[in-house]
Amino acid sequence: MRQLFARAGVSLQLTKTALAAGLSWWLAEALFSRARPYFAPLAAILTIQVTVAKSVSLGGQRILGVAGGIVVSFAVAHWLGVSAGSVAIVVLTAMGLAAVLGLGPTAVTQSAITGLLVMALGTKASYAAARLVDTVLGALVAVLVNALLIPPDATPAAVNAVSGLSTLLGQRLTDLPDPVGTGQPLVDRVATTRAVVAGASESLQFAPLLRGRRRRLARIKRAERVLGRLTWRVLDLEDTVRELTAADQRRFEQFNRLRAAMQEVLARYSAWVVHPDEAACVRLQHAAQALTEEWTAARSLPGPTTTPSPLYTTAVAHLARLVPELGALSPARS
């Protein structure tokens, strides 16, 4: 369906918006016998958002803003009548009250607009009730359309982001001491990945048709936290290795096979995140076991003939902390 919409040059979001507007108008006509219930489709158009959670939030703010604007305008009109001064008081009071209550920018704006319209078009209970009911109807229709018609799902983007971060970490380990061609700075990549995972979590809220994706997202969240912690370990190792002397650099070469084993673990972890099947699980476990064996072999090698520098000792210590964390990247723990 997405491909059909794309070929027609119309996005799914626009189609949902149009459908929600039409349904809102039809329901308002059928349920309340109003000739031109334009507030219902207006609320639907303004409520449809990229995710269902945002639609729920925006719809709720709009309803609260309309209700608040009606109450304030009725109170002010009753005591002060309708005039330029009372209109200013309505706008100020409605917006101020919504802001103080922390209802959000949409509610703040909507309260002022509703208060102004009620003052301008007449402070009649029938008009105010129709305005509120139509707004509730339009917001509900928009939320339901967004939730039930191909709800937005950002889980695949989160999977790709986490997998990409794992692959990048492996590249940085093997490119020591001066990683080249790794693209976006690692810290920025971690922040971007965290934001994508958070967006995926939001896309599954209030989306009953996507309930089956929540277990997968939970696995992605755990992977993002693990990789975020490993990132700082890798950055500490990079900073230390970059400062080694030429002699210490040559000594550090004995750990090349170990770093290759680390990259293999991260590559297998990346593959398992994307396709968590049994074969990927077995490959990841084998890579973790091979890393442990490489670490045992590396520690048994003869050390430097001369006293190692403090930086060299620190670099080895960073490796010692990385090995068990990478070895723990098993499906059972992730």
How do residues 183-228 score in pLDDT, each as one tens digit? 457 888 899 999 999 999 999 998 888 888 888 898 899 899 989 9
> Over 80: is that where the pLDDT of 63 sits?
yes
Q: Is the torsion defined by CA of 79, 82, 84, 86 positive or negative?
A: positive
Mean pLDDT score across all residues of the chain? 85
List pLDDT tens digits, range 102-158.
Answer: 888 889 999 999 988 888 876 667 778 888 999 999 999 999 999 998 888 899 999
**Percent of the chain whose predicted confidence (pLDDT) is above 90:** 33
Task: Using a pLDDT cut of 70, give the percent of the chain over it.
Answer: 90
Q: Residue 122 has what pLDDT?
A: 66
pLDDT at 88 (0 to 100): 94
pLDDT, one tens digit per residue, over 7-35 is 666 678 888 999 999 999 999 999 988 77
Amino acid 152: pLDDT: 85
Residue 333: band (very low, low, confident or very high) from pLDDT cuts 50, 70, 90: very low
Q: Encode the chain in three state secondary structure.
A: CHHHHHHCCCCHHHHHHHHHHHHHHHHHHHHHCCCCCCHHHHHHHHHCCCCHHHHHHHHHHHHHHHHHHHHHHHHHHHHHCCCHHHHHHHHHHHHHHHHHCCCCHHHHHHHHHHHHHHHHHCCCHHHHHHHHHHHHHHHHHHHHHHHHCCCCCCHHHHHHHHHHHHHHHHHHHHCCCCCCCCCCCHHHHHHHHHHHHHHHHHHCCCCHHHHHHHHHHHHHHHHHHHHHHHHHHHHHHHHHHHCCCHHHHHHHHHHHHHHHHHHHHHHHHHHHHHCCCHHHHHHHHHHHHHHHHHHHHHHHCCCCCCCCCHHHHHHHHHHHHHHHHHHCCCCCCC
Residue range 292-296: average pLDDT? 86
Side-chain half-sphere CA neighbours of 292 within 13 A: 11
**What is each CA distance from 145 to 18, 29, 44, 70, 312, in whole angstroms?**
10, 18, 10, 27, 61
| CA-to-CA dists, residue 112 to 43, 218, 316, angstroms | 15, 41, 64
Q: How confident is the model over 225-271, as pLDDT tens digits? A: 989 989 888 888 888 888 888 778 777 777 888 888 888 999 999 88
Whether 329 and 226 have beta carbons less than 8 Å apart is answered as yes
pLDDT of residue 6: 62
Q: What is the mean pLDDT of residues 91-101?
A: 92
Helices 214-242, 310-327: axis angle to 10 degrees equals 170
Which tokens in the block code for residue 216?
A: 């997968």
Question: Do 284 and 268 contact (CB within 8 A), yes or no?
Answer: yes
Token pair 């940085």 in the structure block, residue:
172
Which distant-in-sequence residues (6+ apart) come within 8 Å of 109 by Cβ? 65, 95
- Whether the pLDDT of residue 334 is over 50: the answer is no
Q: What is the pLDDT of residue 179?
A: 58
* Whole-number Å distance between alpha carbons of 268 and 275: 10
46 in Cβ contact with 62 (< 8 Å): yes
Query: Is the pLDDT score of 54 beyond 80?
Result: yes
